[in-house]
Structure 1
Amino acid sequence: MKMKYTTLFIFLFFALNSCDKTVDNSPVEYFNLSDVKLLDSEFKNAQKQDIVYLMALDPDRLLAPFLRESGLEPKVESYPNWENTGLDGHIGGHYLTALSLMYASTGDAEMKERLDYMISELKRCQDANGNGYVGGVPGGQTAWDEIKSGEIRAGGFSLNGKWVPLYNIHKTYAGLRDAWIYAGNETAKTMLIDMTDWMLDLVSGLNNEQIQTMLESEHGGLNETFADVAEITGNDKYLDLAKKFSHHEILDPLIEHHDELTGKHANTQIPKVIGYQRIAELDGDSVWSDASLFFWNTVVNGRSIAIGGNSVREHFHPKDDFSEMISSVEGPETCNSYNMLKLTKMLYPTFGNNSKFIDYYEKTLYNHILASINPDNGGLVYFTPMRPNHYRVYSQPETSFWCCVGSGIENPGKYGEMIYAHTDQSLYVNLFIPSVLNWEDKNTEVVMETQFPDEDKVYLTINPNEKTEFELHLRYPSWVENGALNVLVNGKEAKFQVSENGYAVVKREWEKGDKVELVLPMKITTEQLEDGSNNYAFNYGPIVLAAKTGTEDLKGLYADASRMGHVAHGKMIPLKDRPVIVASADNLPSMLEKESGNQLAFQLKGLYPEQYQDGLELLPFYRIHESRYNIYWSQASKEELNDMIREVEQEEQARIALEEITVDKVGCGEQQPESDHFVKFEGSRTGYANDYHYRETRRFFSYNLKNPDKTGRFLYLKYFDSQYPRSAEILVNNKSAGTIELNGGDEDTILEKVIPIPDSELTKQELIFKVQASDQSSIRLIEVRLLTKNEIP
């Protein structure tokens, strides 16, 4: 098996001492969530806030789509937002998982009570359907009947005219599975198997090519869940179903170690890979497992940023150009990191308990996952912009039902999943989060106390019921220098070996009350953006530092129920006005001076422009909320500064000017912007060329543009030229607005055009923009905007 490990961790193989061959490196197992209880910390606080958020949600409103689609009378109306505009029911599935995880982690009886109620009501729906199916997909039965007959119309966000229905029902499958695995609900187990039998019947008449066509539409991790059903039942027919639901357009290049991810919708792909790995775990297929590892290495080591997240506007961008990561307000998506952590958890025991997986897990858990929940009210974040001086938007329980709310309510219930792991003779301490472990097999309690990262010491109290011998494997993080880690047992320096997989190993007979002190010296390091541009983030140990830069114009800080409410639409501060560090790249760590006090804080000096001449305070990013902030810092020497400012100003002026006159916009071919504008189409396809997504059609496609203040008067179109004859008519509310003709240009050339909206439609608050193809061909449209002025800045 080929494995490509980053050199970042090679020193761990040789650190401190030669490896002791007697060290236990056997595969680890995880503890049950119920075995780990969090102690007071920011993680514990986030868990408490999440419980309040879960209790604020009304189960009957989440159940309404399921009751409606099974012919039963809903008790109340559905929630708004994504829950009543096509993705109805998806949060209900996430809610099952969130309740199950939180019950397992805390033992909270109210979580179990709500879960049991949800399951009983969903069982009513499944019984009413009579075929094993349960789901909230609006008018879903029509789509399922068409698919069973072999009529399949699939695209990235659409399957037979429905908004990602397979993705939607995957949340129900996963919720039923988790209600059984984490909360022991027998009814959920039976329902899960019956619903999987329904899927077996649905595709029984389809060939592999038809199923692969169906998988062109986002389908979550159905392959993973079907593999789980195979393990639960011991029946291989479900494992065969899991393999059929594994998308080979993504899998096959990964097997060949080819990175073909650029331009693809990021979070559509990650759950597929989780499924490949799950299948490999059950059938021992090292090829599929190696493909999953290659994907992980590709994303972690070439497509991720300092906080551990990835993607811009939900898509993987070119590996050699991260410029949109800095310019866009739609930075890494929380769902992506949720799923990357899930994949990391699976790979860790498969590939030798290597601490490199924990290094990534820790980085992403602190800097993206923990940072994505508001510590005061549990509000959840969709996009985390890296654009300097921008901000995040938080969800509200009554208005916001995005995918990142679904995964977001799950996260706090499983904070304890990776803190510890074990073999028969070893305990692994992976993360430094205050907690109590009940190691039942060893009749041993382990208490971890720490103020990490505000201090660099971790204290463990080992409490076996009687003397017991085992190896204590303490993670040797990549951010601790070779030779700097220290271990004390009962106040005395302890001898330890460093294992090949990156742990300091202490083997002894443990007695009740034994004290272990782990010293983890941290220092300031910088992390350059992956494309090699002069943008750097500061880390203290694994913690990303950021600065608060203002609280002006935080428009939509708490999201309303609109389809695009998860995007921070407030004013974009021009990039020319961002703070720049005037120093050589080698000197960046020395620009920070640690402040005194109990909590982590630094002063950053040497900043331009003048408004930052007194410096800025840097804090752990996960502690910055309801504020504009700066994570990535541009660096320049004095000689380079003027040229950089002039270049940025020229690029940014047109961008800002266009945004200021934009009422609404759609990125064509991009999944979420299109679904948020209720795209409709026939004979249409999406593509990706020259770093742009686009949509074209042989017949038509349309978007619903919002014009709430009736100020939109012009359409702005951005599209590719063509050397072959292409033409399309542009319509607004079925009124002709003009025609675009192409013939003889360069296919790579980008064109722009502004078209007046027909006078009769200027007073409408919703404008249906439509591209009607002529002669079976149309333009490749990149972007459409509704403008207040007839200008192309």
Structure 2
Amino acid sequence: MNTNSQFMELDGRQTQLLDPELRRREDENRSYMMHLENRFLLLNFNLEAGRDTSAEAIEGMHGGWEFPTCELRGHFLGHWLSAAAMRYHASGDREIKAKADSIVDELAECQKENGGQWAAPIPEKYLYRIAGGKQVWAPHYTIHKVFMGLLDMYEYAGNETALQIAENFADWFYDWTKDFSREQMDDILDFETGGMLEIWVQLFGITGKEKYAALMERYYRGRLFDPLLKGEDVLTNMHANTTIPEVIGCARAYDVTGDEKWRKIAENYWDLAVTQRGQYATGGQTCGEIWSPKKKLGARLGLKGQEHCTVYNMIRLAGFLFRWSRDPAYLDYQERLLYNGLMSQAYWQSDLSHGFTSPYPSRGLLTYFLPMRAGGRKGWSSKTGDFFCCHGTMVQANAAFNRGIYYQQEDHLYVCQYRDSQTTCTVNGSSVTLLQRADPLTGSSHLASTSSAKQSVLEDTRKYPSQPDCLVPCLKLELEKDTEMTLQLRIPGWLAGEAVILVNDTEVYRSSDSCLFVPLKRVWKNGDVIRILLPRAVTCFPLPEDESTVAFLYGPLVLAGLCEEERILHVPDAAHPEQILTHDNEREWGSWKSTFRTTGQERGIRFIPLHEVGYEPYSIYFPVKSDQ
């Protein structure tokens, strides 16, 4: 077993999310999931099992990739079950668990009708076809989602029936693969396999049965993994989200078996995909689902930028690598993809009010791809007419945002992300509760024209007359007794100045060093308060191969310029293009805004955080020209 298993994430009901925007997204995600009817979620499974023999299209049935003639039909339900299980694990939501449990019961009935093993929404012959070299659209991908949903329902929601279905289903694969030669199996694995390796690892970890270890070896994709072990580039111009789930399977295999081979594959993959390749300001590296060439990203600023699925899965992979290494660079990466991927590509909501209107809808569900082209617009999908692969990762990604915030190893408590939240754990036999809230530095809690907040004159109204350009997380400890422990506080890579840490108003740390953990070891007392000041600023992020084409970030937030075409920005200092951006509409009510405008341009441009863009045309990258 991997010895890093003692380094534990504090997830589930140990950690409560308090951030209002992320909770809104969780609630919208739950509402969407509950809106989808079981009959239509299960339709393709029931059709395959002969339990639904409707002679015509049914009003309300799902379209797009879930339509009964699509070869990927049924893929979404596995994602839905995973999301429901994660939601229940995080919140104890009994209603969504009841809905999920009833779906699992129906899948058990489908499996019985199929002979006791097969539990997929597609026929077995799809796999026989790919074994014969015939083209079928990724049957393993669809089947993996079913397994994933079942095993998550077992691990997160305690559904024993789900595990039994998965084990019976796995028997079909054990029998089907046993007579293939290594070359034949390798040919099969050249068709997209999704996370099938991870499934066999999960089942081996849960049950310890050797047949799952055998399936792990059969699903070892040597044509990908062996070159990765040698450090060879097997990604350029290859489909991105085919391989990320496969490598996540390797990462999980290391956790379960401790075999260093699996860890090396995952680490080499990251080095090749991210470190050597470079990245866009958003954190992505792909266009049209394809890995871009190393450090040559500018030629691929298209409409089909980073795919939501790759964002979600790279966040997952970064989580494994962080647990192994404790390197906070992986946390910076996750943070950037949260804001500029997950939040920018799903559950957008307009903030217009007080009589202001827009010709566009007030909400956006999902944009499969994030446009990177100048003047691009996000393409928002429908609730039941599309069901792209990213609909699935969308419901998973938004099921529980309380993950990845806190970790613990013995008497070390790691604060990894700064989101309003609360976590509870046990340290040296003592119950420890850590409450995290960001100080808005506004001097007012008057948030809207309808609020009844107090109008007291507070020091911060004078201390911060303008946007303070600082994130200030505050941590409060609730202890049942004095407790010796070490708080490991993350200082992010986007730090723009000196980070300052105060304990009970006494300064204990000051440094401009970034992308590290600051350890605070002491005997902590009930009520102790830690205040962390993290200055942030607008910075420019050039393309790896072209420093004259830049994007702008405010801390971890990518800023989108609202314009319909490519615009050249004229800058007085070529080394610091960010100096042409200044705060714009910096405050509304009692909230500071992260919005900017250009200065010194013939035509000005407003910049807003990318995740706040709905239907407007926008640009992320701009050519800059020095006036010197």
Query: Normalising to structure 1: TM-score of the pair?
Result: 0.69
Cα 1:606–1:296 change in 2 (3 A) is: farther
Alignment-derived partner of residue 585 in structure 1: 574
Partner residue of 2:475 out of 460, 467, 477: 460
Q: State the distance in 1 between where 2:543 and 2:266 align.
A: 24
Query: Which of 1 and 2 has greater Rg?
Result: 1
Partner residue of 1:81 out of 52, 59, 64: 64
Structure 1 position 497, deviation (Å)? 11
Equivalent position amino acid for 2:51 in 1: L
Alignment-derived partner of residue 202 in structure 2: 228
Alignment-derived partner of residue 370 in structure 2: 384
Q: State the distance in 2 between where 1:451 and 1:225 align.
A: 43
Alignment-derived partner of residue 485 in structure 1: 499
Alignment-derived partner of residue 334 in structure 2: 361
Partner residue of 2:280 out of 305, 309, 321: 305
Query: Where in structure 2 are the equivalents of 1:188-587 lying within 5 Å?
Result: 188-301=162-275, 302-326=277-301, 328-351=302-325, 353-376=326-349, 377=363, 379-440=365-426, 442-450=430-438, 455-480=470-495, 484-495=498-509, 502-532=516-546, 534-549=548-563, 573=565, 575=566, 578-587=567-576
Structure 1 position 417, deviation (Å)? 1.1
Structure 1 position 355, deviation (Å)? 0.7
Q: State the distance in 2 between where 1:498 and 1:549 align.
A: 35
| Cα deviation code 1:471-493 (max 9, x no counterpart) | 100001122257x1111111211
Alignment-derived partner of residue 606 in structure 1: 600
Alignment-derived partner of residue 30 in structure 2: 51
Cα 1:303–1:221 change in 2 (3 A) is: farther
Partner residue of 2:88 out of 103, 106, 111: 103
Q: Secondary structure at the match of 1:388?
A: coil
Q: State the distance in 1 between where 2:150 and 2:109 align.
A: 14
Counterpart contact for 1:49–1:378, Cα < 8 Å: no
Partner residue of 1:167 out of 134, 141, 146: 141
Counterpart contact for 1:584–1:636, Cα < 8 Å: no
Query: Where in structure 2 are the equivalents of 1:72-151 lying within 5 Å?
Result: 72-73=51-52, 77=58, 78-84=61-67, 85-137=70-122, 140-145=123-128, 151=131
Q: Secondary structure at the match of 2:577?
A: helix
Counterpart contact for 1:303–1:311, Cα < 8 Å: no
Query: Where in structure 2 are the equivalents of 1:31-50 lying within 5 Å?
Result: 31-50=10-29
Partner residue of 1:152 out of 125, 132, 146: 132
Cα 1:396–1:454 change in 2 (3 A) is: farther
Counterpart contact for 1:27–1:350, Cα < 8 Å: no
Counterpart contact for 1:345–1:418, Cα < 8 Å: yes
Q: State the distance in 2 between where 1:111 and 1:449 align.
A: 29
Q: State the distance in 1 between where 2:481 and 2:492 align.
A: 31
Alignment-derived partner of residue 632 in structure 1: 621
Which deviates more, 127-136 or 630-639?
A: 630-639
Q: Secondary structure at the match of 1:549?
A: coil
Q: Secondary structure at the match of 2:32?
A: helix
Alignment-derived partner of residue 61 in structure 1: 40
Counterpart contact for 1:372–1:381, Cα < 8 Å: yes
Counterpart contact for 1:64–1:74, Cα < 8 Å: no
| Cα deviation code 1:700-737 (max 9, x no counterpart) | xxxxxxxxxxxxxxxxxxxxxxxxxxxxxxxxxxxxxx
Equivalent position amino acid for 2:119 in 1: V
1:619 aligns with 2:605: no
Cα 1:344–1:39 change in 2 (3 A) is: same
User: Percent identity, aligned pairs only?
Assistant: 30
User: Which structure ranks higher in relative contact order (CA pairs < 8 Å, sequence separation ≥ 6)?
Assistant: 2
Q: State the distance in 2 between where 1:401 and 1:126 align.
A: 24
Equivalent position amino acid for 1:128 in 2: E
Cα 1:196–1:118 change in 2 (3 A) is: same
Q: Secondary structure at the match of 2:423?
A: strand
| Cα deviation code 1:523-544 (max 9, x no counterpart) | 2211111223522111122221
Q: State the distance in 1 between where 2:38 and 2:558 align.
A: 37
Cα 1:174–1:581 change in 2 (3 A) is: farther
Q: State the distance in 1 between where 2:5 and 2:78 align.
A: 36
Considering only aligned residues, what root-mean-square deviation do their CA atoms show, in Å? 2.4
Structure 1 position 618, deviation (Å)? 1.7
Counterpart contact for 1:103–1:112, Cα < 8 Å: yes
Cα 1:180–1:534 change in 2 (3 A) is: same
Alignment-derived partner of residue 30 in structure 1: 9
Equivalent position amino acid for 1:45 in 2: R
Cα 1:26–1:181 change in 2 (3 A) is: closer
Counterpart contact for 2:19–2:419, Cα < 8 Å: no
Alignment-derived partner of residue 683 in structure 1: none
Alignment-derived partner of residue 152 in structure 2: 178
Q: Unaligned regions of 5+ residues in structure 1, if any?
A: 1-24, 154-159, 551-572, 640-793
Cα 1:627–1:497 change in 2 (3 A) is: closer
Counterpart contact for 1:604–1:616, Cα < 8 Å: yes
Counterpart contact for 1:489–1:516, Cα < 8 Å: yes
Structure 1 position 207, deviation (Å)? 1.7
Cα 1:357–1:424 change in 2 (3 A) is: same
Q: Unaligned regions of 5+ residues in structure 2, if any?
A: 350-362, 441-467
Counterpart contact for 2:570–2:625, Cα < 8 Å: yes
Counterpart contact for 2:470–2:533, Cα < 8 Å: no
Cα 1:243–1:497 change in 2 (3 A) is: farther
| Cα deviation code 1:595-627 (max 9, x no counterpart) | 4421212222234xx5xx2x2222221122121
Cα 1:279–1:391 change in 2 (3 A) is: same
The number of aligned residues is: 571
Structure 1 position 41, deviation (Å)? 2.7
Q: Secondary structure at the match of 2:384?
A: coil
Structure 1 position 581, deviation (Å)? 3.8
Q: State the distance in 2 between where 1:400 and 1:240 align.
A: 37
Alignment-derived partner of residue 554 in structure 1: none
Q: Secondary structure at the match of 2:348?
A: coil
| Cα deviation code 1:64-89 (max 9, x no counterpart) | 10111112126884411011222110
Equivalent position amino acid for 1:446 in 2: L
Cα 1:226–1:26 change in 2 (3 A) is: closer
Counterpart contact for 2:62–2:385, Cα < 8 Å: yes
Structure 1 position 322, deviation (Å)? 2.0
